[in-house]
């Protein structure tokens, strides 16, 4: 069971931008930092912009920033917005050919599980996902800095 990379990257993009509230970020730097395709990130930025999670400033010196405070960006809402579908089993999708559909209770049970999954995410905001130490440029520091000698 997996979320699409679209949602995975969207969350990481929001986290990256949230950690740099003092400036605009660029898609190129997020792509480099996470070794993610820039084209893929542009698509994600567009969706996050349309849904009101990111703001895009065009032109020279432009970039992206959060459209709201991290504490106002609900994780469950972002996942619902970005994930293309939640067809966990065939009968939940549009191309359902299952012969059991009419009498079967599988859909209801799986839907309930999906509700529990998303309901759990609804309990968190972007602020909850960020590393605890505030003010650091990178929670994303190079390995050498991540393993600092203990005095």
Which lies closer to its own copies via its Cβ, residue 69 or residue 113?
Answer: 113
Question: Residue 61 Cβ, how far from its own copies at the closest point, in Å?
Answer: 25
Binding to its own copies by residue 114, rule CB under 8 A? yes
Instruction: For residue 66, give the nearest of 6, 5, 127 by alpha carbon.
Output: 127
Mark the segment that binds its own copies (CB under 8 A) among 38-46, 50-58, 62-70, 125-133. Answer: 125-133
Q: Which of 17, 61, 113, 135 binds its own copies (CB under 8 A)?
A: 113
Binding to its own copies by residue 67, rule CB under 8 A? no
**Which residues is 64 bridged to in the sheet?**
25, 56
| Rounded CA separation 9/64 (Å) | 15
Do 46 and 80 meet the contact criterion of CB atoms below 8 Å apart?
no
Question: Residue 60 Cβ, how far from its own copies at the closest point, in Å?
Answer: 28
Restricted to residues 73-102, the positions that interact with its own copies (CB under 8 A) are: 75, 83, 85-90, 97-100, 102
Q: What angle do CA 132, 78, 115 make, to 5 degrees?
A: 105
Question: Residue 10 Cβ, how far from its own copies at the closest point, in Å?
Answer: 10
| Rounded CA separation 70/105 (Å) | 39
């Amino acid at each position: 069971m997996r979320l699409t990379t679209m949602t995975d990257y969207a969350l990481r993009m929001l986290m990256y931008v949230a950690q740099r509230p003092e400036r605009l970020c660029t898609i190129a730097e997020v792509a480099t930092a996470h070794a993610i395709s820039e084209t893929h990130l542009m698509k994600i930025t567009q969706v996050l912009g349309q849904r009101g999670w990111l703001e895009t400033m065009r032109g020279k010196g432009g970039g992206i920033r959060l459209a709201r405070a991290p504490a106002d960006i609900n994780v469950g809402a972002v996942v619902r917005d970005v994930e293309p579908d939640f067809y966990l089993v065939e009968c939940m999708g549009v191309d359902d050919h299952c012969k059991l559909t009419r009498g079967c209770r599988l859909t209801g049970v799986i839907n309930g599980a999906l509700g529990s999954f998303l309901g759990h995410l609804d309990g968190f905001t972007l602020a909850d996902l960020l590393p605890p130490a505030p003010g650091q440029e990178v929670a994303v520091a190079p390995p050498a800095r991540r393993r600092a000698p203990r005095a």
